[in-house]
A and B are shown apart, each in its own frame.
Chain A
Amino acid sequence: MAPAASAQEVSGEISFAWWGAEARNRAILEVVAAFEEAHPGVKVLPQPTEFARHWDRVTVQAAAGQVPCIPMMQTRYQVRYENLGALLPLDDLIAEGKIDVSTIPEELIEGHRNADGNLYTLPIGLWFETYQYNWTRLEPTGVGEPQNDWTYEDYIEWARQARTELDEGVYPLSQLGTSITQFQMYAQARGEDLFDGVEPGFSEETLADWFRLWATASEERLAPDMAMSAEEPTATPQTYMAQGITLSRTGGDVTASELQAVLNELDGSVVHQAKSPNGNNPLVSGSHTLAISTNCANVDAAAAFIDFWLNDEPAAVRLQSQVGLVPSASLLEAQAADPNSPPTLVDRIEMYTDFADTYGVRIDVWPDNTQHLVNEFRDIYQQVGFGQSSPEDAASQFAEEVRRSLALN
């Protein structure tokens, strides 16, 4: 194998676009600075923004053939840009040794391969869905901690018990009826899934049950009502759990650290996490990935940049998994052993390892033309929540939308 890119002479400018909040931006900029120090001839032009704007921007850039040299991608969204021809296949760069992936498990790499046989992205941070709850406020209620093999029916029962012990205006659950990701967990617990080839992977009955479950949760004041939920900010530091309005929420494990940072400032509450409620099914995991755009004029420097992210131990430690858990087992160990790593990060690493051993891991890559279903799902559930549609009609409507979307592929 040829020497890795980190050992090669590279120079010139490369643009790098990602999304994130303040803590992640700070950590990423530190890694960028470390890369520039290791490769003095390369200047990285950072283009940070927040999640939704990142995709809007990359979409426009893709249409114009001006995607930044290295766009951060995510497993749920990347297929669109791969199929569009906006990203460069990385297989040759790996074969030439410009990107060293030898420390990353092969099944993880293969999980990112496109149906056309090419590998367009490489994971730099894994995240997994968790159920997050405020243990400091939950403990005095005496209802106990959620368990890793729970389903959403178990959470509703748990919330009913917790509700009676909480102050007025505090809800045990967040309103999750609008979340397609959590519906995916619910469907998996019933042996179904979101997609099954060109058809929905769930039954309309399962979806209608999901809508009813959360309509009931609102009625019983276990979760905020639809109007409150509709105006809940999406950024983790402003969510209702961060404001103390709800006791729990769901999200990627990486957001738990952000949440903990906010609660540290607010009242010092401690956040605990359980596996997302899909029963005994494998942990649903996604990844933040790096790609090289087809319009990138400095591919060698871009390859060196990706290689640096995948293999540089000091950079990985400095990053503290702000983009997710590093995919290399040795770097993950180095992060866990680092005395500067915060306890929440060490917990996440242990949790991931434990869940992966117990339940297995499934990298969740969505088919093309399905990304907008996140918003469609939210809108359709809102119609149920506001009494504009019955659960059955809404379920039928959404299943039809899934079929229509998948038919475009």
Chain B
Amino acid sequence: MSLSGPNKLARSAWLSDRARESIAAYVFLLPWLIGFVFITLGPILASLALSFTNFSGSLERMQWVGLDNYIRMFTSDRAYWGSVRVTLLYVFVSVPIMLAFALAVAVVLNRGLRFLGIYRTIFYLPSLLGTSVAIAVLWRYVFGQYGLINQLLGLFGIEGFSYIGDPRSALQTIMVLNVWTFGAPMVIFLAGLRQIPAQIYEAATLDGANAWQRFWSITLPSLSPLVLFNGVLSMIGGFQAFTQVYVISDGSGGPAGSTMFYTLLLYQRAFTQLQLGYASAMAWVLLLFIGVVTAVLFLSAKYWVHYGEGR
């Protein structure tokens, strides 16, 4: 039904077309906005407020404690700095290795192999499974005292040990699990490699560049935006890693605190010890730290990320 006569005039007088479109857009956005405000933004701001309290589940007993939670975190929590050290090691060792591995595999797959689609799928699968509880459980069985690795070593007369039960190797075992999930960045690198014009390589070859020179001077600079993209995402994911270590260490962060990730300590303080105010403070410190590291990565990008001509 179309509007005509006085109705049409009245509508035009009240709202312009642009305003009507804006209102329609906001009406359609409303469900998301409600969700964002009440489910995401609200709890985030609430956790900031709680971080300055001793909230332990009872609003009646909650008291404002100012910066006490932050001071305690940095000065008297026995496990805090250990968890920071473990998390930094995990992120700054396993993420670069994973990215390097992903890039290497992508370069190999980009050489026009037959059955590329099958290889791509096989290598991508761990990314889908790697953070699942099932794989973490499997990891326990593979790297345990009586696990698959030691059974294989036993065939050659080599006596293994418990890789997840020894603090000298437990964290590395979890790092291996992280590196194993290289499929997602690999797929992105592979897509990037396909965008590099073949003529550039041909010209470089004619000029006498060897394979390493071509990789270092053409491939890597061309992929640098994707290295930044994968690096930022993997780094943030690394700081937030929880499921694998929770399952593999049975929620303990052991042995001897060697896998006590920041997120796991936060979880223990919140849900084992019911120190929800303190855990909120820990969460905010983590958020700020991730923000700072991400900002540093982006600020450094102008020195090593090449966006091509005109950028």
Contact = CB atoms under 8 A, between A and B. Distances in A.
Interface stretch (A192-200, A208-216, A221-229, A285-293): A221-229
Interface stretch (A58-66, A247-255, A323-331): A58-66
Contacts of A230: 162, 164-166, 254-256
Contact of A234 (B79, B165, B250): B250
Interface stretch (B13-21, B217-225, B266-274): B266-274
Contact of B165 (A52, A55, A229, A372): A229
B255 A226 contact: yes
A9 to B, nearest CB: 34
Interface string B222-245: 000000000000000000000000
Interface in A24-60: 52, 55-56, 59-60
Given A227-B161, A231-B144, A401-B78, A388 B56 contact: no
B254 A56 contact: no
Contacts of B79: 379
A80 interface: yes
A369 B79 CA distance: 17
Contacts, number: 87
Interface in A214-244: 226-231, 233-234
A63 B254 contact: no
B165 A226 contact: yes
Interface in A116-157: none
Interface string A367-405: 001011001001100110110100000000100010010
Contact of A383 (B140, B251, B256, B272): B256
Q: How large is the interface on B (under 10, 10 to 19, 20 to 34, 35 or more residues)?
A: 20 to 34
A369 B54 CA distance: 14
B4 interface: no
B252 interface: yes
A84 B257 contact: no
Contacts of B251: 52
B75 interface: no
B272 A378 contact: no
B167 interface: yes
A306 interface: no
Contacts of A401: 78
A149 B127 CA distance: 56
A86 interface: yes
B58 A59 contact: no
A85 interface: yes
Given A231-B140, A231-B162, A386 B255 contact: yes
Given A231-B165, A388-B167, A63 B276 contact: yes
Contact of A85 (B58, B164, B166, B167): B58
B57 interface: yes
B207 interface: no
Contacts of A234: 250
A84 B61 CA distance: 8
B162 A227 contact: yes
Contact of B271 (A59, A226, A229, A233): A59
Contacts of A382: 167, 254-257
A386 B167 contact: yes
A84 B165 contact: no
Contacts of B257: 379, 382-383
B151 interface: no
Nearest to A375: B252
B309 interface: no
A383 B167 CA distance: 9
Interface of A: 52, 55-56, 59-60, 62-63, 80, 84-86, 226-231, 233-234, 369, 371-372, 375, 378-379, 382-383, 385-386, 388, 397, 401, 404
22 contacts: A55-B272, A56-B272, A59-B272, A62-B57, A84-B57, A84-B58, A85-B58, A85-B60, A86-B58, A226-B255, A227-B255, A228-B162, A231-B140, A231-B164, A369-B273, A372-B268, A372-B273, A379-B256, A382-B256, A383-B256, A383-B257, A404-B76
